[in-house]
Amino acid sequence: MDTPVKKKAIDIANAMLDEGYDEGRAIPIATEQAKEWYENATKDEINEAKQMGDDELQSRDQDDQQYESRPGLLDKGEHVVPHEDGWAVQAEDAKKPSNVYEKKEEAVSRAKEVAENKGTQVIIHKKDGSIQEKTDY
């Protein structure tokens, strides 16, 4: 694989693992998506991918290892909680959020997607921290 395709595949696979996909499924899907991305990418996008350093990918890996380093989180529900930058999506018992969004609707959508992939639940909180809604998947 060419370097930009390889780096894009790693980036996609990391995102899929973050969403709760099994590694055995994530890698082949990410590889195919990266190849397709490469066919349709602009020169600027390809150059950007080439310039993405290994340290940048490693940093992304560390951020996305929330579930890998703490596999128990795969069984935990996803919470949508108030955050200083808007609304955060955070697995129950996680040390930090996996995503932060300006709008609550965006956070809820992402939390539902992750919970559905993991087969867990979404717990949506109000601004005051109390529970607004729970949905099981």
Band of pLDDT at residue 51, cut at 50, 70 and 90: confident
The confidence score (pLDDT) of residue 62 equals 43
Looking at per-residue pLDDT, the higher value among 57 and 75 belongs to: 75
Is residue 50 located within the same domain as residue 99? no
The confidence score (pLDDT) of residue 64 equals 46
Q: Which of 64, 90, 107 is the last residue of a domain?
A: 64
DSSP state at residue 80: E
What is the span of the domain harbouring residue 10? Answer: 3-64
Interatomic CA distance for residues 104 and 89, integer angstroms = 10
Is residue 14 located within the same domain as residue 53? yes
The model scores a pTM over 0.85 = no
Is residue 77 located within the same domain as residue 49? no
Q: What is the mean pLDDT of residues 8-13?
A: 84
Q: Which residue has the tokens 């992402």?
A: 110
Q: Which of 28, 44, 64 is the last residue of a domain?
A: 64
Segment among 13-17, 83-87, 88-92, 119-123 with least mean pLDDT:
13-17
The confidence score (pLDDT) of residue 74 equals 57
What percent of the chain shows pLDDT beyond 90?
A: 31
Q: What is the mean pLDDT of residues 128-136?
A: 93
Is residue 123 located within the same domain as residue 83? yes
Is residue 93 located within the same domain as residue 60? no
Cα distances (angstroms) measured from residue 19 to each of 63, 82, 116? 13, 20, 9
